[in-house]
Structure 1
Amino acid sequence: MPTAPPHTFPAEGRVRLPYTCLHTMTPFLEEGSITTIASPTGEGKTTFALDLVRYAAAAGHRTLYLHSSQSEDGIRVRLLAAEAEVSNTQIRTNDLTQQDQERLDQARQTIDMWPLHLSHQSTWTLEDIKNEAERNDYELIVVDDTDQVRIPGAPLAERFARLSAGLRDIVAGESTVLVAVAQLDPPTEHTGGFTAAERLRQLGHRYALAQDSELVILTSLDKVVPFRGGSGLRLSMQVAKNRQGATGSVEVQAEMHFCRCVDLTEEETDPDPWPESLSI
C-alpha cells in the first residue's frame, strides 16, 4: 500500500502541499496567498483540507482550522483516525484491537503536541474569522464551509465578492497561507455531467473567491469503487494555477473511510495532464 510522504518542509518555512505528485505540480503555498478547494457535496474537499492541516501541523507549522458543518469532536476523530491508521467507524464504535488502541493512544499524544487550533461555530462572520486569525501568528489558516459564512446586510450576489475581499485583507502583508473550502453544487444539472473545465468556469462565475486565488483545486471521487485492499476510494484533484504555471490533474487514494489520502502508485493510475492552462 502507498505511504504518505514524510513531513518535510523547505528551509524557508513556506507550507508545502502533501503528496509527491501534487507537490511536483504546485510546489508551495506562497506566503500571503489564498487557495480555493472546491467540489460538490461529499466529493472529498474536507478530506483533502484535513490532510493538509495534518501534514502542516505535524511539521510544526502553526495551523488554524475553522469549521461549521461538523462538530469539533467529529474533526478530532477524523484526525485521530488518519494518524492512527484506523477507520472513523472503528473509533466511534470502539471496535478496536489492542494494537489499534495502542496506535490511537500514541496518535492522541502526537496530535496534542501539534501547534494546531480547531475552532467550531455554527455560523462564522468575516469579523469572527479575523478575530480568530489574530489570536496567534498562524502560518496556515483553513476556513471550511466558506459558502456558509454570514455577510450581514450583503445581497446574495455580493456575498462572495465581500468574502473574497475580506479573506484577502486577512493575509495581506502577512506570512500566512489561507485555504478556503467552498461547496460547488450546480443548481440544475447533475455534477457528473460537468467536465473539469466547466466546473472551474462555474466556480469562477459563482465565487469571486476563486478568481482571487493563486491556486484552485477541485476534488472529486473519480471511481467510487474499493481498491484491492478494500479500504479506499480514488480521489481526483484537478488543479488550476490562476496566476502562473501549469494546469493539470493528479489522483490520490482516499483511505479508510475518507480519513486520509495517500499518493496512488504508478501502476494504479497514469494521470493525463490537461494540454493547456485554463483561465477562469
Structure 2
Amino acid sequence: MSETPPSTVPSDRRVRLPYRSLRDMVPFLEEGSLTTIAGPTGEGKTTFALDLVRHTAAAGQRTLYLHSSQSEDGIRVRLLAAEAEVSNTQIRTNDLDPQGQQRLDEARQTVETWPLDLRHRSVWTLEGIENDSRRNDYDLIVIDDTDQISLPGVPLSERFSHISAGLREIVAGESSVLVTVTQLDPPNESTGGFSDEEKLRRLGHRYPLAQDSSLVVATGLNASPFRPERGLTLSMHVAKNRHGATGRAEAKAEMHFCRCVDFTDEENSSDPWQQSVLG
C-alpha cells in the first residue's frame, strides 16, 4: 500500500504573505522558518513588515512584532492608518472629516480584536527576543530591525554570524515563523545604482543571516516611467532557499495610508484620502 502524500493545503497555522504576486511564488511561510526582508533606508521594509503583521493578525493568527526604530505609539498609528485608509498625519493632528473619523473608530475596534502584541525596546538582545517569543505560542514573530540587537563582548567580525545562529535557535523545532528586517547598505558614488540581483548579493556582511534564511526579500520603492498610472510601487525581489529560483513581485504603494496593496482593476479608482484633502 502506497503512503498518502502530504497535503499541499496550508494548515491554519501557516503564515501567508500579504500580496497576491508574492503568494503566487511563495504560498506560505513554513513553520520554523527564517525569512529576511532587506533594503536601504526608506525603501519599504517596515511598510512590508507591517503589512505582513496586519495580514497575519487579521486572519486570527498570534503575532508578535518586536521593533526599535519607532515608538509603540508610532507603530500603532501606522497600523490604524493602513486599516482605516486615512493619513497617519491626519490621525496625529486629529484632522479627520466625519467619514474618516468613522473609519478610524471602526479600525480601532477591529485592531483591538487582533491577537497582536507590540513590543518596543531601543536595543534588543537575543535573550530578550527569546524570552518575549516564548510568552505565547506565536504563529508569526517579526524583528524590526536586526541592527538593534546587542551582542556584548562579541567581535564585530562575528556579530552577524552570532545573530543568525541565535535567531535560528529560537525557531528551531518550533511552529512559529520568524521574519527579520535588516538594513541593506544603500548605493553610493563609488558603487553606483544596484540592480535587484545586486541587492541580494550585496547583503554582504549580513550574509550569514541571508544564507540561513529560507526566503530573502529585497525591497525597493520606485515609480515606473513606463506605467505612470501605477504611481509608486513596492518592488520585491525574492530569493527562495537562497540557491533556488528568484522572482520579482510588485504591489501598489499607498504610502499616505502607510501600506501597500495588490494591483487590481480598481487601482485607478478614487482615493478616499485624496477626496478628503481636496474637499
Classify the TM-score, shorter chain. Answer: 0.7 to 0.9
Which one has the largest radius of gyration? 2
Cα contact 1:151–1:159 (8 A) shared by 2: yes
Q: Aligned residues: percent identity?
A: 71
- Distance in 2 separating the partners of 1:266 and 1:172: 42
Shift of the alpha carbon at 1:29?
A: 0.5
* Deviation of the 1:267 alpha carbon: 10
SS at match of 2:203: helix
User: Which residue of 1 is the match for residue 275 of structure 2?
Assistant: none
Any runs of at least 4 consecutive aligned residues in structure 1 with deviations exceeding 6 A, and if so which? 224-227
> Hey, what's the Cα distance between the residues in 1 that align with 2:137 and 2:19?
26
What's the secondary structure of 1:28's corresponding residue? coil
- Residue 113 (structure 1) aligned with residue 113 (structure 2): yes
The answer on 1:254 being equivalent to 2:275 is no
Counterpart AA for 1:241: K
Point out where structure 1 has 5 or more consecutive residues left out of the alignment. 1-8, 269-280
- Contact 1:44-1:258 at 8 Å conserved across structures: no
- 1:144-202 deviation digits (Å, cap 9, x = unpaired): 01012111111111111000000000000000000000011148547861112222111
Of 106-115 and 189-198, deviating more is 189-198
1:169 maps to: 169
Contact 1:204 1:211 in 2 (8 A): no
TM-score, reference length from structure 2? 0.86
Task: Give matches, 1:227-246, under 5 Å.
Answer: 228=229, 233-242=232-241, 245-246=244-245
For residue 20 of structure 1, report the CA deviation from its aligned partner: 1.1
Residues 32-75 of structure 1: CA deviation (Å, up to 9, x unaligned): 00000000000000000000000000001100000001000000
Note the aligned Cα RMSD (angstroms): 2.3
- Which range moved further: 16-25 or 256-265? 256-265
Q: Distance in 1 between matches of 2:25 and 2:63?
A: 23
TM-score, normalised with respect to structure 1: 0.86
Tell me whether 1:155 sits opposite 2:155 in the alignment.
yes
* Count of residue pairs the alignment pairs up: 258
What code does the residue aligned with 1:20 have?
R
Which residue is 2:4 aligned to?
none
Aligned 8 A contact 2:38 2:219 in 1: yes
Distance 1:194 1:55, change over 3 A: same
Equivalent position amino acid for 1:71 in 2 = S
- State the shift of 1:89 in Å: 1.2
- 1:222, distance to aligned residue in structure 2 (A): 2.1
CA distance in 2, matches of 1:267, 1:248: 25
Match of 1:198 in 2: 198
1:215 and 2:215 are equivalent in the alignment: yes
Residue 92 in structure 1 maps to residue 73 in structure 2: no
Is 1:28 the counterpart of 2:28? The answer is: yes
CA distance in 2, matches of 1:84, 1:140: 23
Alpha-carbon distance in 1 for matches of 2:102, 2:191: 41
Shift of the alpha carbon at 1:233?
Answer: 2.0
Q: Which SS does the other structure have where 1:199 is aligned?
A: helix
Moved more, 246-255 or 9-18: 9-18
Pairwise CA distance, 1:260: 1.0
Q: Which amino acid aligns with 1:247?
A: T
